[in-house]
């Protein structure tokens, strides 16, 4: 794809956001503090046609582990990229429904066993800032006081020169701790006054999508893997004393490293491939390498735009937006719930319909089960848990194990002491050490709900 296409992706995403009502967008608070957020969008395009926006998300918030819902009825991770991808899942199911009903889809086809994207369809992700976590670590460090920036740059250059990068830590790193933990999987920082989140950074999640695809385990039953072809990133700032072209090339190289080079090992040497024994990704999964493009166009409600307008110490918006045009009006999400509902502690009684976001786990499950029921498959699906459906997809689980290892060990005391109960962390998984070893698994405890909204023990 030419860069002009990448810039059309940006223009389409910005125009779609600008056309949304004000409700749910960052504001200037009564005390004069300007809010900002991050925008992400997933678009599809065919050949040289216009990009078609299928899902948009804004947000920078994540709920702590103590607020994980056993019924999948709140959205735990409300970072823009994650909301955009969750909306994309709803769009895929909606398009598959059109195919199933004989209405036809411009974008999705049925090829006998699974739905696939129509020939020539490409998928683009736009994010108005470098994804949090590994892809943004160097950029963040470069805008720190000079000492930290220099030390990090020297380390980055040293690593880049090595054939095999030194292994990342075997444990997840909390938030932004330790720039020296280069290549590490990191959890989202969350609020400093709340217990830690166990949601992984957007860099780690996007890198996961480059191997496992966007549909994930649940939709992977119905859809062939769908991969990103293009990632367009905004908000890259020039640190003082750098050459612009060199700096851009460095940031792109960092994004490539964080978003796919970090996980390339899961493919192994082609000749040595024996996926079932070597812990490598089995087909149809593979490592994909989306093209990375940096856009100079600024998102109007980014932190940089607020600063450029003269805002002093702008603050993050606590509100998220999810807009999936095929589902109707945009949705405002606060504390993981659709707005107006108020916060309710996660429990075993399902949140009311209007309180649930359309992109929470149980709503995605309902959409998938609805699609399968409409095709006349067995009616036990409504009583099958999210966890069971996800785990029925053996190649997906094998690919995930190659990437993360398998839940095997208890978290270290330092992690565990601030979490509501013990979580498993992944380890091992074959001959090669999985690149995302140390992933914290939410597991069956939070995925044992059915489409009917019942938790099965
Ligand atoms: Zn993020």
Interval 71-96 mean pLDDT: 97
Q: Which residues contact 337 (CB under 8 A, 6 or more apart)?
A: 74, 75, 343, 344, 351, 355, 356, 357
255-279: per-residue pLDDT in tens? 999 999 999 988 865 545 444 445 6
Q: In whole angstroms, give the CA distance from residue 322 to residue 58.
A: 7
How many angstroms does the Cα of residue 213 sit away from the middle of ligand 1?
18
Count Cβ atoms within 10 A of the Cβ of residue 309 and give its class: 0-12 exposed, 13-18 middle, 19 or more buried.
exposed
339-368: per-residue pLDDT in tens? 765 666 667 788 888 899 999 999 999 999
User: In sequence order, what E strands does 220-278 have?
Assistant: 230-233
Residue 400 has pLDDT above 60, yes or no: yes
Taking the alpha carbons of 61, 64, 67, 69 in that order, is the dihedral positive or negative?
Answer: positive
Which residue has 């700032």 as its token pair? 237
What are the b/e assignments for 18-51, b being 16+ CB within 10 Å? eeeeeebbbeeeeeeebbbbbbbbbbbbbeeeeb
Please report, for the chain, the start and end positions of each structural domain, with discontinuous segments joined by +. 3-359
162 as an active site residue: the answer is no
Residue 40 or residue 423, greater confidence: 40
> What pLDDT sits at residue 301?
98
How many angstroms does the Cα of residue 136 sit away from the middle of ligand 1?
10
Count Cβ atoms within 10 A of the Cβ of residue 402 and give its class: 0-12 exposed, 13-18 middle, 19 or more buried.
buried
- What is the distance of C-alpha 195 from the center of its chain? 21
Q: In whole angstroms, give the CA distance from residue 58 to residue 200.
A: 17
Q: Which residues contact 296 (CB under 8 A, 6 or more apart)?
A: 234
- What is the distance of C-alpha 145 from the center of its chain? 30
> What pLDDT sits at residue 1?
47
* Cα 377 to Cα 122, 317, 381, 449, distances in angstroms: 30, 43, 8, 20
Q: Assign 426 a pLDDT band (cuts: 50, 70, 90).
A: confident
How many angstroms does the Cα of residue 29 sit away from the middle of ligand 1?
24
Residue 197 or residue 343, greater confidence: 197
Range in 49-53, 359-363, 368-372, 424-428 with the lowest mean pLDDT: 424-428
Q: Please identify which of the residues 7, 35, 81, 363 carries the catalytic annotation.
A: 81
How many angstroms does the Cα of residue 383 sit away from the middle of ligand 1?
33
How many angstroms does the Cα of residue 320 sit away from the middle of ligand 1?
12
How many angstroms does the Cα of residue 36 sit away from the middle of ligand 1?
14
Q: In whole angstroms, give the CA distance from residue 287 to residue 192.
A: 35
Say what percent of the chain tops pLDDT 70.
Answer: 86
* Cα 1 to Cα 43, 123, 195, 226, 231, distances in angstroms: 14, 11, 43, 17, 11
């Amino acid at each position: 794809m030419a860069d002009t296409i990448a810039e059309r992706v940006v223009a389409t995403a910005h125009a779609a956001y600008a056309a949304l009502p004000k409700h749910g967008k960052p504001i200037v608070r009564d005390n004069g503090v300007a809010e900002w957020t991050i925008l992400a969008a997933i678009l599809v395009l065919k050949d040289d046609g216009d990009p078609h926006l299928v899902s948009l998300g804004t947000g920078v918030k994540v709920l702590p582990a103590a607020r994980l819902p056993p019924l999948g009825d709140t959205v735990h991770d409300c970072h823009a990229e994650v909301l955009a991808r969750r909306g994309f899942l709803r769009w895929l199911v909606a398009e598959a429904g059109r195919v199933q009903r004989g209405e036809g889809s411009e974008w999705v086809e049925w090829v006998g066993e699974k739905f696939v994207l129509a020939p020539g369809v490409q998928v683009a992700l736009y994010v108005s800032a470098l994804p949090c976590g590994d892809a943004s670590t160097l950029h963040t460090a470069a805008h720190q006081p000079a000492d930290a920036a220099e030390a990090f740059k020297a380390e980055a250059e040293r690593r880049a020169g090595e054939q095999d990068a030194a292994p990342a830590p075997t444990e997840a790193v909390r938030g932004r701790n330790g720039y020296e933990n280069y290549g590490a999987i990191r959890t989202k920082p969350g609020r400093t006054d709340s217990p830690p989140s166990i949601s992984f950074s957007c860099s780690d999640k996007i890198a996961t999508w480059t191997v496992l695809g966007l549909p994930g385990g649940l939709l992977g039953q119905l859809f062939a893997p769908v991969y990103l072809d293009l990632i367009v990133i905004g908000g890259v700032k020039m640190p003082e004393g750098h050459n612009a072209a060199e700096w851009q090339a460095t940031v792109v190289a960092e994004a490539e490293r964080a978003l796919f080079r970090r996980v390339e090992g899961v493919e192994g040497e082609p000749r040595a491939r024996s996926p079932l024994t070597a812990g490598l990704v089995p087909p149809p999964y593979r490592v994909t390498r989306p093209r990375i493009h940096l856009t100079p166009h600024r998102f109007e409600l980014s932190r940089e735009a607020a600063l450029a307008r003269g805002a002093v110490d702008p603050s993050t918006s606590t509100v998220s937006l999810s807009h999936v045009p095929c589902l109707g009006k945009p949705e405002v999400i606060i504390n993981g719930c659709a707005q107006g509902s108020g916060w309710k502690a996660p429990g075993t009684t399902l949140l009311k319909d209007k309180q649930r976001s359309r992109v929470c786990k149980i709503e995605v499950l309902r959409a998938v089960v609805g699609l399968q029921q409409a095709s006349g498959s067995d009616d036990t699906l409504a009583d099958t848990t999210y966890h069971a459906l996800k785990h029925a997809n053996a190649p997906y689980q094998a690919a995930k194990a190659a990437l993360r290892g398998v839940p095997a060990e208890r978290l270290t005391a330092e992690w565990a002491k601030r979490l509501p109960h013990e979580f498993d962390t992944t380890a091992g998984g074959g001959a090669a050490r999985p690149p995302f070893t140390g992933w914290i698994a939410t597991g069956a405890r939070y995925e044992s709900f059915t489409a009917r909204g019942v938790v099965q023990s």
